[in-house]
Amino acid sequence: MKAALLLALRTTTGLLLVIWGSIRAFSPETSLKISDKYYSGSLSVEALQMPLGLAQMALGILVILGLFRVVVYPLQAAVLVISSLAIWKYLLDPLGLYLLTEETRNILFFPSTTVAVATLIILAFKEYDTLALDRVFKR
């Protein structure tokens, strides 16, 4: 049961990286708008979108497969936790009661906390992740 649930967490968090990476790589104008609006323009350089998007997609695929976990899981945690921290106002005030206004609030960002915690769970319970390809290849 633990291994199956970790596989489900790996798959869903890895797919999130693949989806966001594909948006960044193949729709850079969308990625730039999101970066400018919600992330204070960090990484808002059009020339970076394709390579960063492809790298993010590759990371997501490696997470889903459970390959190179010693390196990939901490990288995934860094990407997902740091991106959650970048939208801290939306996480601390999802209803727009004190940091945001009714017009600027966006409750859809709040699940980023769940994603960040899920990736930390994957990292913390790596030894139970027996359905990862790394484990299969070591047998």
- The CA R_g of the chain, rounded to the nearest whole Å, is 16
Q: Per this entry, what is the length of the chain?
A: 139
- The rounded distance, in Å, linking the Cα atoms of 127 and 110 is 29
Of 113 and 47, the one with more pLDDT: 113
Q: Where are the domains of the chain?
A: 2-128
Is the pLDDT assigned to residue 62 strictly greater than 70? yes
Contact 31, 24 (CB under 8 A): yes
Fill in the amino acid letter for 13. T
Global pTM value? 0.89
